Amino acid sequence: MSADVLTKIEGKIARISLDRPKAIHALTTAMCAAILAALEAWRTEPQVEAILIDHAEGRGFCAGGDIRMLAESGAKDGAEARAFFHTEYRMNHRLFTYAKPVVAFMDGITMGGGVGLSQPAKYRVATENTRLAMPETGIGLFPDVGGGWYLSRLPGRTGQFLALTGHRLDGAECLALGLATHYITSGTLEEAKARIAAAPQRIEAILDELATSAPDAKILAHRDAIDRLFASDTLEDIFAALEADSGDWARQQLALLRTKSPQTMKVSLRLLHEGATMPTFEDEMRQEYAVGAHVVQRHDFLEGVRAVIVDKDNAPAWNPSTPEGVTDHIIDQIFAPLPDDEAWAPN
């Protein structure tokens, strides 16, 4: 097992606790492999009736993946990055298809890989500390780990809005959009876990009993604007709609989008468009793996990581620098399927 993942059987449940606090529990290949191994072992273990996923200590549930490693690998042959995606997506798929109920506690920062870890769970618990986002377009990446599946199934055009802007949702907003099934105050989480361990057949009832009324979901005040301004699957249309709107909120979103990678914003729109009708989650992961394998070796991802994570100047020089410069041919290249012997598979 990875030292950064704690796994144990507790009564009638098994627990997975992410334990890499200095990196806000960002996932490594070894952590994903450890979770996969545990899930496989518990699959046929009669004592284990349910799985709980949380974080051991420190702030945040999971801040994403090992971005620096991905960029270093992408600058070379990309092999290590592909190995990470391959293992992480197998973990995502295993959780999505797992027969036993899974409860994910999204207490604190839940971004990128943390979304991929929590969204397949049958029960997804948000708290007043939850900050969920898919901020990948800011570093020249895209909302993977099933983002094309989950975001495309949100109400109206909220998925497209979240994918392009990387907007952070609080716990109440997660509940309102269906990204969380329950809203529970953080002070009640230990009681919830203890009660579920004692009676896993009552998970839903226990969470219902401990749930509290969530505050108003602020994003709902902008739902009409989101559906109108982000209506198109063409990035240039969204920019034009925002430019034509004189409201403060639209101006803020336009300014935000101008800081993101035009290339991976277009990738994100296509991913959600195709994800909405993807036959199975396995098909979604196969496509995202091919897209990820291509994107990590492209200029925008290496430049985004340099600007945001390495040098921290927050001034990435995207290439192409405008939506118009990103041709359909570029996007087609990124979405090209991998050869059969390189393609992702769930096992």
Tokens describing residue 219: 């994003």
CA pair distance 27, 29, nearest whole angstrom? 7
Residue 295, CB half-sphere, CA atoms under 13 Å: how many?
Answer: 31
User: Considering all CA atoms of the chain, what is the largest pairwise distance in Å, rounded to the nearest integer?
Assistant: 60
Number of H helices, E strands in the chain: 16, 9
Annotated catalytic residue, options 64, 108, 113, 146: 113
Q: Which of 121, 292, 277, 301 is nearest to 196 (CA)?
A: 121
Q: Is 329 exposed, middle or buried (0-12, 13-18, 19+ CB in 10 A)?
A: exposed
50-55 vs 13-18, strand pairing mode: parallel
Task: Specify whether 146 is catalytic.
Answer: no
Rounded-to-integer distance, Cα 278 and Cα 335, Å: 14
Single out the residue of 345, 346, 320 nearest to residue 267, CA to CA.
Answer: 320
> Does the bond joining 337 to the residue before it have cis omega, within 30 degrees of 0?
no
Would you call 159 a catalytic residue per the annotation?
A: no
Which H/E stretch holds residue 9?
Answer: strand 5-10
| Active-site residue, 138 included | no
Quickly tell me which residue has 């100047």 as its tokens: 313
Q: What number of residues does the chain have?
A: 347
- Of the listed 54, 60, 64, 65, which one is catalytic? 65
Give me the half-sphere count of Cα atoms (radius 13 Å) on the Cβ side of residue 141: 31
- The residues near 258 (Cβ < 8 Å, ≥ 6 apart) are none
Rounded distance, CA 140 to CA 299, Å?
Answer: 8
Active-site pick, 54, 136, 284, 300: 136
> Angle between the 248-257 and 235-244 helix axes, to the nearest 10 degrees?
140
Known catalytic residue at 114: no
DSSP 8-state assignment for residue 27: B
Active-site position among 4, 54, 88, 144: 144
Residues with catalytic roles: 65, 113, 136, 144
